[in-house]
Amino acid sequence: MLDYVKSNPVELRDNRYDQVVHMVTAASGAESFYQLDNNSTRSEGFELARERDTKAAESWVGHPYFDIVDNSTGFEEKIHRVIEKVCERMRKRGIELHTEDRLKAHSKKRKFLIKSLPDEKEFPAVQDFDVQHDYIESRDSTVQSRIRKRGQKGSYSYTITERKKINGEKVEKVRSISKREYETLYRLKYHDHESIKKTRRYFLWNTQYFQLDIYTGATDKCSSLLLLETYTTKEGGDLKLPDFLEVVREVTDDPQYSMFQLSFSPTTSLGHMDDLDVDPAAIALPRKKSVVYKVVLTGGPCAGKTTSLSRLRIFFEGLGWKVYTVPEIPTLLFEGGVKYAELTPEQTTLFQQRALTTLMELERTFDLLAECDSRNVLIVCDRGSMDPFAYCSSKQWQAILDYVKSNPVELRDNRYDQVVHMVTAASGAESFYQLDNNSARSEDLDQARERDTKAAESWVGHPCFDLVDNSTGFEEKIHRVIEKVCERMRKRGIELHTEDRLKAHSKKRKFLIKSLPDEKEFPAVQDFDVQHDYIETRDSTVQSRIRKRGQKGSYTYTITEWKMVNGERVEKARPLSKREYETLYRLKYPDHESLTKTRRCFLWNRQYFQLDIYTEGTEKCSGVLLLETYTTKEGGDLKLPDFLEVVKEVTDDPQYSMFQLSYKDPAPT
């Protein structure tokens, strides 16, 4: 096969992929989850599945960024660990990804009972929606199903939410349904539950996103009820609530304020399933084998949108997704010579009409390509169809809507699965606000803040709207965007989860090994020839190292750079061509030797290890054996290969850092 494709393992395994994540079969450690009936191509029994799993893992052993995700946690956590494995590797490559608090285990939705509804003038900009919820019967008694109709001015979107406990885990899946599907499912509504009707008011206050549910019709107990909701990690009084609302009390954990209880009306009689002329089997809707997920990245000037677009692409491509990025149409026009500030009102309307039409056609092209793809597809839009609202008057906006023959519900709610608004650096991170990295950007700080507010308000009301502010450093902010998308996808039943080793307390641990056992003692291994060299840079605050790594004369090349930025240690890595590597090699530090070693990669006890066998370099590293692995486990909780004799742990010992090992004797003290 290698001869046929004219390649070799290094090219096929190491040079094609930024990362490999191996997920251990449920047949090994989670047997109760192992199923054959959800995949028509799967026929393996336990033993064969385990054998296939081992062979699949061993085929990738040796990839420079190989991770294994076992079944030591529940299924939901396992999937999340995959996501975090990818995030960690991306951070190692200098991709600025971090954690959004609301996605952590201690984050939750908080709910408050409001005494009375103030005048609408007291609110900031709002979007009001007519919403109706109905609980419906399902063929599976362990599943709770709820359908929702949501819209404005007679234009609606429809969804179904299903909740089920699987082996003690609460799993929630949400998907869109057509109007016809909604009407069919509505006929299956529970006979002892009323429809819940309410106005849902969305608004931003103090950079926090709130939803105020104003109940208008259902059971007596929820008539005129007002419930305020928001997602947060803040506890108690740390969460600041809108000062124009009078809070009665928090009802987050009060079951009587759950929608299921509010809709319950045992006196209601709408018949039973047997009385309906609907065959439950007839409503089983075909599901796509692959996922298409469409997200808008929007925000004010200099918010980090471009970086986030790039990071989302790399992140999901590493998961095997196809990623399409839809460019920002106005920027393309600006680069063609259009100056927005010079346009007349008539030209502004024309500009936005044509820009929106072009955007919709371009998105449609990507939508069609995605629908024809057998892979999971992520479509990331650099701004979306509601963004023109922030750049024109109400009269102009209505003219635009008339021109494209649409309405806000269609443009905002029915085109995208999610909207992520990134707050401009001009609001909270002023020292990072720059104009020189975007020729289309001309706003000063005040203008940037104004544009940011308008951009956010144009999307308020989307059912999956997230706001990412500047409460953290830039790197963390970008990672929060990634996690916002992951969290929403999980809510849609797309299984993305967290790996412990990516948490704050996770780290690389390093051990000094006494001697090298016979290769027969090892499980399946991949050995690599590796050479590291530290090179000089024009910036004295940057430490740079180049690496050559390969097998049988076939190599890959990378450069890694470290720098402190505003107190943050930032590490970036990128691939090099052979020519770039050879040029940079000429800049190697004169007081550092090349470090040459064999890197042995292997799996043991479902943990991934790397054993560095130093062969050349300084006298102090000749014959040194260092075992490394990434883990959250401390002390003796980490089980090390029983065929290796460990001298001591040297994780925090500076003399075993590569920088110190490469120093020509005598090394500086």
Q: What is the pLDDT of residues 20-68, one digit of tens each?
A: 788 888 888 877 666 654 443 455 677 888 888 877 877 766 665 667 7
Max mean pLDDT among 133-142, 382-391, 451-460, 521-530 falls in 382-391
Q: What is the pLDDT of residue 273?
A: 30
Q: Which of 187-201, 210-224, 522-536 bottoms out in mean pLDDT, i.e. has the lowest?
A: 210-224
Question: How does pLDDT run across 133-149, given as a tens digit for each residue?
Answer: 999 887 677 888 999 99
Q: Which of 172-181, 316-325, 390-399, 567-576 bottoms out in mean pLDDT, i.e. has the lowest?
A: 567-576
Tell me which of 285 and 312 has the higher pLDDT: 312
Tell me which of 42 and 378 has the higher pLDDT: 378
Rounded to whole angstroms, the Cα distance separating 571 from 592 reads 21
- pLDDT at 369 > cutoff 60: yes
- pLDDT at 132 > cutoff 90: yes
Largest alpha-carbon pair distance within the chain? 90
Percent of the chain beyond pLDDT 90?
26
CATH 2.40.320.10 residue window(s) in the chain: 108-283, 507-661
Question: How does pLDDT run across 568-619, given as a tens digit for each residue?
Answer: 665 666 667 788 888 889 889 999 999 999 988 787 776 768 899 998 777 7
Which CATH superfamily groups domain 108-283? Hypothetical Protein Pfu-838710-001 (2.40.320.10)
Reported pTM: 0.49
Q: What is the pLDDT of residue 106?
A: 47
Q: What is the pLDDT of residue 41?
A: 44
- What order do you get walking across the sheet with 607-616 strand by strand? 568-576, 554-565, 543-551, 525-535, 595-604, 607-616, 625-631, 507-513, 646-649
Q: What are the residues whose beta carbons fall under 8 Å from the beta carbon of 407, sequence distance 6 or more?
A: 152, 153, 155, 401
Q: What is the pLDDT of residue 642?
A: 94
- Mean pLDDT of the 486-507 span: 59
Tell me which of 477 and 436 has the higher pLDDT: 477
CATH 3.40.50.300 residue window(s) in the chain: 292-491
Q: What is the pLDDT of residue 117?
A: 94
Q: What is the pLDDT of residue 4?
A: 72
Q: What is the pLDDT of residue 495?
A: 67
Q: What is the pLDDT of residue 648?
A: 95
Rounded to whole angstroms, the Cα distance separating 116 from 214 reads 10
User: Among 3.30.460.20, 3.30.450.20, 2.40.320.10, 3.30.1490.20, what is the CATH number of 507-661?
Assistant: 2.40.320.10
As a whole number, the mean pLDDT across the chain is 80
* CATH code of the domain occupying 292-491: 3.40.50.300
- Kindly indicate the confidence band of residue 437, based on its pLDDT and cuts at 50, 70 and 90: very low
Contacts 24+ apart (CB under 8 A), 52-60: 52/25, 53/24, 53/25, 53/27, 53/28, 56/22, 57/22, 57/24, 57/603, 58/524, 58/603, 59/13, 60/13, 60/20, 60/22
- Mean pLDDT of the 310-336 span: 81
Q: What is the pLDDT of residue 318?
A: 61
Q: For 623, phi and psi rounded to 5 degrees?
A: 80, 5
